Amino acid sequence: MHKTLRLILGDQLNNSHSWFSEINPDTTYVLMEIKTETDYASHHIQKVVGFFAAMRQFANELSTLGHNVIYFDFEHFDNKHNFIDNILLLVEKLQITQFEYQLPDEYRVDEIIKSLIKLLNIPSKSFDSEHFFTSINEFGEIFMGKKTYLMESFYRKMRQKHNILMTGNEPLTGKWNYDEDNRKKLPNKHYITPPLTFQNNVNEIVSLIKRKNIKTIGNIDASNFIWPINRTQSLDLLDFFVKECLPNFGTYQDAMTPHEWSLYHSRLSFSLNTKMISPHEVIEKAVEAWQNENLKIEYNQLEGFVRQILGWREYMRGIYWHTMPTFAQLNFFENTRNLPSWYWTGNTKMNCLKHSIQQSLNYAYAHHIQRLMITGNFATLAGIHPDEVDKWYLGIYIDAIEWVEITNTRGMSQFADGGIIGSKPYTSSASYIHKMSHYCGTCYYNKNLKVEDKACPFNSLYWHFHHKNESKLKQNPRIGMIYNTWNKMEENTKIAILNKAEEYLNKIEEL
């Protein structure tokens, strides 16, 4: 008799997958809470809890529907705490004749499954995860023979291929990109509807984490866990987003303030990355909301959102599979410095960093510009080793899974890829941070000063970074202006700025 074992990974909680369209008594599904997954990074406690809670609910739903499900919780007596030994054990115990799995999103897990398959003496079969718009190889096909991988061309191809916001082969409004309308600072005294959060009771999982000494970072309210842990909650969050946030999403997409932690962002990344909801339905729902005249959503808000999901998210996945494992080794600037320890506590006098980090520790969340232009920007300017930066981003965010974390961190934010993803490093001095946020007003440092006492560290570090990396960057046509300005400065001014930056770097732990 044919007996199949199907592995469901923690980020494959897709109940619309064709696997589940029929109930087969000879098929067993397995999900597992294992040490190799809790220990490969210092995860935020909300990330571990979020994954375990969502996996448990998913397993229960499948069982209720009548599927055979084995759930290895962390303390299950048979749990060997790694994929390979657990699968080998089940294959033997259940006399399995075929092993099946959905293609993993992470290179690391893909390698583990390849090793497992070599050890199995039964046939195995892979399936698409039926979640993304693009297949793993599609990116390579789109950019075949091209020297650069422009996100904009990728995005336009996706719009055309999937007929999203199109009329025939042309963009619906005649214009592809509304980015220039989408860069406003939050006005003072601007009211934002409080974010929809959930009150999930996760005391049991939090006790487990403590009991088993699973090393985590960050804070949690175990009686009111705020993140969606099932499809129903994910859909509620999507519904809240399109009604309450989408009308202002694009306009304030880049804005930052110490008073709000999620502004008009969707906070759908955890639901999306665990596949509790699909990018197709998220886009459909956003388009539907825009078509609903009562909601009065302008087109630039919608396009900005669609660009993130259909553009950036699929593009990052394409880059990941096209460039791994090399991508994880790239260190274009040959940086060596350690990440300051205050990244793990938020104990710094720099207000922008303090708020972005403390918020990340409290919610396992920061929005894109906080990740890119505050924590990422500082790490780039200070010359932190990209491995250190990756480790931090991979741990601290609830949505951090390597395919989307490393491409954003090592690529977009740190420019450690030398320009595979971005055409120039995303760096700035205090002027951009002040332009887009309300952090500087109450900061210990002075945003207007470069070299004086209490001068904002971003100001001298910005020039120090460009000076230090001139040979690597000066040919970049998008950076020429910066070197023109630098070269026009008095020699004494330049020396004072570089000295100030060195002073700050030497006492980076005290900043």
Q: Please report, as ranges, the residues that interact with ligand FAD according to CB under 6 A.
A: 265-269, 272-273, 308-309, 312-313, 316, 367-368, 371-372, 376, 393, 397, 399-400, 404-405, 408-409, 412-413
- Contact partner, 350, from ligand SF4, ligand FAD, none, Cβ < 5-8 Å per class: ligand SF4
Task: Compute how many residues bind ligand SF4; rule: CB under 6 A.
Answer: 13
Closer to ligand SF4 by CB, 55 or 353: give it: 353
Instruction: Give the whole-angstrom CA distance, residue 373 versus residue 358.
Output: 16
Instruction: Provide CB contacts within 8 A for 96, sequence distance 6+.
Output: 3, 4, 5, 28, 90, 122
Pairing of strands 166-167, 170-171: antiparallel
- Report in angstroms how near the CB of residue 509 gets to ligand SF4 at its nearest: 15
Applying CB under 6 A, does 267 fall inside the site for ligand SF4? no
Applying CB under 6 A, does 447 fall inside the site for ligand SF4? yes
Q: Which of 350, 384, 389, 436 binds ligand SF4 (CB under 6 A)?
A: 350
Structure tokens at 126: 């892979």
- Report in angstroms how near the CB of residue 185 gets to ligand SF4 at its nearest: 13
**Residue 153: helix, strand or coil by DSSP?**
helix
Kind plus residue range of the DSSP H or E element containing 160: helix 151-162
- Report in angstroms how near the CB of residue 377 gets to ligand SF4 at its nearest: 9
**Secondary structure letter of residue 341 according to DSSP:** G
- Contact partner, 440, from ligand SF4, ligand FAD, none, Cβ < 5-8 Å per class: ligand SF4
- Report in angstroms how near the CB of residue 263 gets to ligand SF4 at its nearest: 17
Closer to ligand SF4 by CB, 116 or 508: give it: 508
Applying CB under 6 A, does 276 fall inside the site for ligand SF4? no
b/e map of 185-214 (b: 16 or more CB within 10 Å)? bbeeeeebeebbbeebebeebbebbeeeeb
Structure tokens at 352: 């922008």
Contact 335, 475 (CB under 8 A): no
Structure tokens at 434: 């002040």
Burial of 291 (0-12, 13-18, 19+ CB in 10 A): exposed
Closer to ligand FAD by CB, 234 or 429: give it: 234
Structure tokens at 471: 């040979």
- Contact partner, 433, from ligand SF4, ligand FAD, none, Cβ < 5-8 Å per class: ligand SF4
- Contact partner, 412, from ligand FAD, ligand SF4, none, Cβ < 5-8 Å per class: ligand FAD
Pairing of strands 124-127, 98-102: parallel
**Secondary structure letter of residue 326 according to DSSP:** G
Nearest 5°: phi and psi at 51?
-65, -50
- Report in angstroms how near the CB of residue 28 gets to ligand FAD at its nearest: 31
- Report in angstroms how near the CB of residue 349 gets to ligand SF4 at its nearest: 8
Structure tokens at 83: 């994929």
Stretch binding ligand SF4 (CB under 6 A), from 43-51, 332-340, 389-397, 441-449: 441-449
Q: Which of 9, 151, 352, 412 binds ligand SF4 (CB under 6 A)?
A: 352
Q: In what order do the strands lie in the sheet with 68-72?
A: 68-72, 27-32, 4-7, 98-102, 124-127
- Report in angstroms how near the CB of residue 429 gets to ligand SF4 at its nearest: 8
- Report in angstroms how near the CB of residue 195 gets to ligand FAD at its nearest: 10
- Contact partner, 406, from ligand SF4, ligand FAD, none, Cβ < 5-8 Å per class: none
Instruction: Give the whole-angstrom CA distance, residue 448 versus residue 429.
Output: 10
Tell me, letter by letter, the H, E, C secondary structure of 218-253.
Answer: CCCCCCCECCCCCHHHHHHHHHHHHHHHHHHHCCCC
- Report in angstroms how near the CB of residue 452 gets to ligand SF4 at its nearest: 13
**Secondary structure letter of residue 133 according to DSSP:** S
- Report in angstroms how near the CB of residue 500 gets to ligand SF4 at its nearest: 13
- Report in angstroms how near the CB of residue 198 gets to ligand SF4 at its nearest: 32
Closer to ligand FAD by CB, 344 or 486: give it: 344
Instruction: Give the whole-angstrom CA distance, residue 461 versus residue 380.
Output: 9
- Contact partner, 272, from ligand FAD, ligand SF4, none, Cβ < 5-8 Å per class: ligand FAD
Applying CB under 6 A, does 458 fall inside the site for ligand SF4? yes
| Structural Rg of the chain based on CA atoms | 24
Contact 79, 32 (CB under 8 A): yes
Q: Which of 430, 482, 501, 508 binds ligand SF4 (CB under 6 A)?
A: 430
Q: Which of 320, 439, 462, 465 binds ligand SF4 (CB under 6 A)?
A: 439
Closer to ligand FAD by CB, 195 or 457: give it: 195
Applying CB under 6 A, does 381 fall inside the site for ligand SF4? no
| Cis ω before 325 (30° cut-off from 0) | yes
Q: How far is CA 209 from the centre of its chain?
A: 24
| Residue 156 burial (CB count, 10 A) | 16
- Contact partner, 430, from ligand FAD, ligand SF4, none, Cβ < 5-8 Å per class: ligand SF4
Q: Which residues of this chain interact with ligand SF4, rule CB under 6 A?
A: 350-352, 430, 433-434, 439-440, 443, 445, 447, 456, 458
